[in-house]
Amino acid sequence: MNNFTNRKAIFAFFAFFALMFFTQLNVSAQFPCGNQDLDDCNCFGAGILVADSEPCTVPTSQAVKYVLVDEDNATVDGDMDDGLIDQVSSEPNFINVGDGDYVIYYVNYDQAAVSFDIRDYLVRGGSVDNIINDFGLTEGPQGTWSNDDIIIIKSALALVNGPACPPCSSSFSIGNFVWNDVNGNGIQDPGEPGLVGYVVTLYDEDGNFVASTLTNSNGNYAFSDVDAGSYYIEISLPSGDSFTSAGEGGDDAFDSDFDDNGRTDIFTVGSGEQNFSFDAGIIPEGGPFALEIADLNVADKSTGNVVNWATATEYNNDYFIIEMSKDGINFVQVGIVKASGTTSSGAAYSFLHENAPNGTVYYRVVGVDYDGVKTNSRLVSITKVSDRGIVNVFPVPTSNIVNVEYAIDVASQITVSVFDVAGKVISSVQANVDNGINVISLDISELPIGTYFVSVSDANGNDSVEKIIKQ
């Protein structure tokens, strides 16, 4: 595996909301041993037709094929009705099926005796009637034809007359809910609120960064359009916060799925799937935020980043500390703003962080009362893009994976090199990057502990260098 991977995370909820507005239809299929249900659409493919159960009392030692024939002017895979076979499958599923009337044939045959010959017929454009006639099948009861080697069952007449299925992505979506576990029991109890502005990061099973997002105003988060594979999720906590116990109560819909280190187990998601079951119970430092924050946001200005916030009420509030982080975990103070003391009407505040760094940075506001007690706000983030160059390196220090955010104003090929303090090149590789910010993951787990530098050079010879530390 190439350890230098380039990923651009796309955060979109289109596929999720499209499915919410689509009503799945159920149609009836007549099998020889009774009615069975068919689903004419789900998100394993656009317009999929699925037989949920097989015909009864068929030999298990023979090979099986499912054959789909449309009965009117339906379109299957672009083929209009022509009386011929539209699809053949080893499973009772058929994809890219439009509106119309269909018959599904269940074909059993002896693998050793006729498999070569019958496969010539069981192809798109073949004819079920030709199989019946050429192999001398005799019509039996309940829509079956058979001889010693072959059984064909007219297994289902499926009427698909609803709207076409929405396009389903070959990628997957995951996410769910981060909440304030007020009583600390590890269970989502009624009235316990979601937590806003927590950093949630998706990694692949090898620890490579995939995407990062913040919980929204309801405490929800999601990652969409991510390739199928194996991953884990990690949540970064502000200092003083802690995770509640995982797996409490025996109901996955209401428990916490993150361990004491803020990680889920590694999980695998297939193409087109959705998994919104990864919840996290958190006990914030000192309980809910003492100040009632009405708004918190950050804006990119030519002179720097402007952090804005407002309070609905304040009590003995002395001042605010404005803190910034490049990874959502380790914060540094960048400013102080005097508070209003005690007020029932609230107040609005603003702070200009001059010469703010490029790349993605996180801000939080820390309220300090007259007794010196500190309480943290939620996080907000902003991404500043320079024309080109390394804009962020994280985490530093690290023992294995370091992620390099690299910005460029045109798609190009770059050279990424790691060298030691003596200037000796340790490794070098080329990668293709797109316009904008790209994330390049480097595996430095085999390097000795120490200080190194990562250099990125574009096709025009422009170089950008940042320090990394292996621990």
Show the domains of the chain with their CATH numbers. Answer: 23-160 (no CATH), 172-280 (2.60.40.10), 292-384 (2.60.40.10), 389-470 (2.60.40.2550)
What percent of the chain is modeled with pLDDT above 90? 16
Confidence bin at 303 (pLDDT 50/70/90) = confident
Q: Give the residue among 275, 225, 229, 195 at the shortest CA–CA distance from 11.
A: 225
- Residue entry with tokens 């009427």: 159
Q: Are 67 and 160 in contact (CB under 8 A)?
A: no
Chain-wide mean pLDDT for the chain? 74
**Neighbouring-strand partners of residue 307:** 298, 351
* Structure confidence at residue 234 (pLDDT): 96
* Structure confidence at residue 31 (pLDDT): 45
Please tell me the pTM assigned to this model. Answer: 0.36
Instruction: State the average pLDDT over residues 406-410.
Output: 79
* Structure confidence at residue 33 (pLDDT): 44
Q: What is the tens place of the pLDDT at every residue in 157-186?
A: 554 444 444 444 445 678 889 988 877 889
* Structure confidence at residue 285 (pLDDT): 65
Cite the beta strand spans of 215-303 per DSSP E. Answer: 220-226, 229-236, 242-243, 267-269, 274-275, 280-283, 292-301
Q: What is the tens place of the pLDDT at every residue in 94-114?
A: 655 665 667 778 888 776 666
Q: Give the residue among 64, 37, 63 at the shortest CA–CA distance from 51.
A: 37
In the predicted structure, residue 454 carries a pLDDT above the cut 80: yes
Confidence bin at 42 (pLDDT 50/70/90) = very low
Q: What is the tens place of the pLDDT at every residue in 106-153?
A: 888 776 666 557 767 777 677 788 888 888 888 876 567 888 788 887
Residue 34 CA: distances (Å) to CA of 142, 189, 212:
10, 45, 50
